[in-house]
Structure 1
Amino acid sequence: MIDYIMGTVKYIHTDHVVLECGHIGYKIHCPNPFIYQQELGKQTTIHTYQHVREDILALYGFENLDERDLFIKLIQVSGIGPKGALAILASGKPEQVVQAIENEDEKFLTRFPGVGKKTARQMILDLKGKLTNWTDVQLEFEPTEVEVSDSGLDDAIEALGALGYGQKEIKKVMPQLKNEETLSTDQYIKKALQLLLN
């Protein structure tokens, strides 16, 4: 398994980044690729999980080992695949997800795209009591200051679609997003996710 890749961030897309290492470009799917906006053209390290199936060979990337460990736990739950786990991590802070599982808060868990009542119950059944290492972990996912792009809102809308949100849901939060001062793509995404989860 590829544990991590250190390389240059070449491209950032709505659901993945391309990291060049040894003249090879690795396509790495991330919960929120735009967190690497400041690293564009620079060398960085991304912790990875290699997903292998008969018809799929994919790399998933994370800022730190704790985030990756939670992703691995989530995909072990029946009904949650890699894309679903990424959407959960992109939509909420890991410690919020863990807290909801420990508190058996089905209502909170079903706010995530692709998670219905059955899947939320399965998450609680499979993971409650097995995530105690998160009790004292405080991860910060506040958006960093990045160069603002005029297409920031458009890119954010595209990213929300990639995370599994429908046009109806996105349309509902558009007025609040347009009322914001000009933000970076990452900041628009974070704001939209806050609104969608309220």
Structure 2
Amino acid sequence: MIGSLRGEIIYKGLDRAELQTNGIGWEVFLPQRELAKLALNEKKELFIHHHVAEGADVLYGFLNRDDKQVFEMLLSVSGIGPRISLSVLSVACGQRILQAIAEADVAFFEQVRGLGRKGSQRIIVDLKSKVGQIKELDLQDKVGNQAVNQALRGLGFTKEEVSEALKELPNNVKEEDEIIKYALRQLGKNG
């Protein structure tokens, strides 16, 4: 099984990128919002889900392990395949998806192309009990309390911007002031 690949982005398409590692080009499908963050000739590590179905081997890639884990959770839902799961992750990061599941936000999932009301409800029903078990994706566990979130929101950033900035927070960044500095650097890159 392939867990991750590190290399250079040598091609970007509409729904995939090619990552070259040691002379081998790996075609990897990515969520749209993550594909947009990649630049040609950039060195990147992608966390890989290797999917085998109907004789085809397909690689799905993510910029962080959390999104890969949410992708795999979505695949566990009956009737939800890799394309729909990838479409869900194209709409929002894993943290936001887990929030939508916990809040039974059917409207959030209905905005995903190819996923209707029944599929949206099935995701919520099948995964709601699992969401409470995933502590490593919980922003409050990473941040420790609401102070960081409130400070960044007080500076005019939206809830979504703050969540996006903190989703790849390194484990060694634990103090509130360090977390705020990290988030501001991330928000500065995106702005």
Q: Would you call these one fold, judging by a TM-score over 0.5? A: yes
**Structure 1 gap segments, 5+ residues each:** 143-186, 188-198
Q: For each residue in 1:132-183, what CA deviation from the matched residue of structure 2 results, as whole angstroms up to 9, or x when unmatched? A: 32332675269xxxxxxxxxxxxxxxxxxxxxxxxxxxxxxxxxxxxxxxxx
Q: Does the aligned pair in 1 maintain the 2:49–2:68 contact within 8 Å?
A: yes
* 3-state secondary structure, aligned to 2:37: helix
CA distance in 1, matches of 2:98, 2:44: 28
**Structure 2 gap segments, 5+ residues each:** 143-161, 167-189
- In structure 2, the residue matched to 1:63 is 63
Q: Does the aligned pair in 1 maintain the 2:51–2:57 contact within 8 Å?
A: yes
- 1:26-175 superposed matches below 5 A: 26-32=26-32, 33-37=35-39, 40-132=40-132, 133=135, 134-136=137-139, 139-140=163-164
Identical amino acids, percent of aligned pairs: 30
Residue type of the alignment partner of 2:67: E
CA distance in 1, matches of 2:48, 2:163: 18
Q: Point out 4+ residue stretches in structure 1 off by more than 4 angstroms.
A: none
Root mean square deviation of aligned Cα: 1.9
CA distance in 2, matches of 1:17, 1:141: 23
* 3-state secondary structure, aligned to 2:61: strand
Q: Does the aligned pair in 2 maintain the 1:12–1:34 contact within 8 Å?
A: no
* 3-state secondary structure, aligned to 1:130: helix
Residue type of the alignment partner of 2:107: K
Q: Does the aligned pair in 1 maintain the 2:8–2:20 contact within 8 Å?
A: yes
CA distance in 1, matches of 2:66, 2:124: 19
Q: For each residue in 1:109-141, what CA deviation from the matched residue of structure 2 results, as whole angstroms up to 9, or x when unmatched? A: 211111111111111111002123233267526
Matched residues, number: 141
Normalising by structure 2, what TM-score?
0.68
Q: Does the aligned pair in 1 maintain the 2:67–2:93 contact within 8 Å?
A: no
Normalising by structure 1, what TM-score?
0.66
Q: Alpha-carbon deviation of 1:104?
A: 1.3
- In structure 1, the residue matched to 2:2 is 2
Residue type of the alignment partner of 1:71: F
Q: Alpha-carbon deviation of 1:42?
A: 2.9
